[in-house]
Amino acid sequence: MKYRNVGKAGIKVSEIALGSWMTRLEDTAAVDNAMAIADAAFDAGVNFYDCADAYSGGDAERFLGRFIAKHDREDVVISSKVFFGTGKSVNGRGLSRKHIFNNCERSLKNLGTDYIDLYYCHRFDTTTPLEETLQALSDLVDQGKILYYGVSEEWSAARLERAERIISERGLHPLTVVQPQYNMVDRYIEHEIVETCERYGIGITPFSPLAQGLLTGKYRKGQPLPAGSRATWQSDHQINNLLTDENLDKVERLSKIADELGVKMPVLALAWILRLPVISSVIVGASKPSQLESNIAASGVEIPADALKQIDDILGFKRFERHIG
């Protein structure tokens, strides 16, 4: 396992992180399976575990707390997020100082720890002054309850630039990390966000790197959906919306490149994200050990320049040729 700094901060995280978004905790068997995967990840060198207060109604944080208790605290990097409602109060949602402070305390209790390493704003709050949100997060750093803070979805480059101005004017602790969606078929952050993060020394820890399973290569054009896959879940519209003929054709061509390089398709997809130095860690999910092993194998894999050019030709996007070769 390779490790990278989070932006210009001193903290180091594994190139592959384990996320909790899709962790199933509905019964004892599911919990045992999730713990086995978390343990296997740790044994393989993963030190970064991503969570949020809204995942599974708080159960994901409580589960992660049980995992943390088995290890020295300095050996694990834990993240959580705040924004979504975790109660019925009118102040129980958003990025107000009150909600941030209340839910940070809730997360600390759920996790059974004195501090959270990385604390994200899960969404952008248009109803709260940005100055209030950033001041609250910086104050939590002063109090030692979080070590670093960042943002996740709905934070455009313009919003990041505005946040940086406020931080500079007020002398606040820096914004350290951004967690957007990023993968081979969703490259929107390359238009402006990547450049902004490079400029300010902000690390990027993307989620959904395999595009809900599309980039695993298990979905094939003209073939039945794999039994038990996410696309067979009636409520999962995200993956089904991605299973277009165009995307499946791209994956077919990308899979041939993976074969030529002697790696599995998920490894190629994850290593492709890690080609950017601004990426600190890639957050993956796993429902069984074999998926975890495939994901972890991507750490340290370097894709040759000619293969990167072939990939860009397939994806039809030339924006970041300056990063290859």
To the query of whether residue 55 is one of the catalytic residues in this protein, the response is: yes
Which residue among the candidates 49, 55, 120, 182 is catalytic per the annotation? Answer: 55
Residue closest to 13 by CA, chosen among 177, 144, 146: 177
Alpha helices (runs of H) in the chain, residue ranges in sequence order: 28-43, 59-68, 97-111, 130-142, 157-170, 193-200, 237-242, 245-261, 265-273, 289-296, 305-315
Instruction: Tell me whether residue 84 is exposed, middle or buried, using C-beta atoms within 10 angstroms of its C-beta: 0 to 12, 13 to 18, 19 or more.
Output: middle
Strand partners, 17: 283
Calculated CA dihedral for residues 140, 143, 147, 149, nearest 10 degrees: 10
Q: Quote the tokens at residue 161.
A: 């630039």
Give CA–CA dist 183/173, Å, rounded.
30
Give CA–CA dist 4/10, Å, rounded.
9
Helix (H, G, I), strand (E, B) or coil at 114: coil
Residue closest to 314 by CA, chosen among 265, 276, 278, 274: 265
Give CA–CA dist 195/204, Å, rounded.
11
Give CA–CA dist 247/185, Å, rounded.
8
Amino acid in the structure at residue 113: T
In eight-state DSSP terms, residue 112 is T
Give CA–CA dist 241/225, Å, rounded.
14
Angstrom CA distances, 225 to 21, 28, 212, stand at 23, 28, 14
The residues that are catalytic are: 55
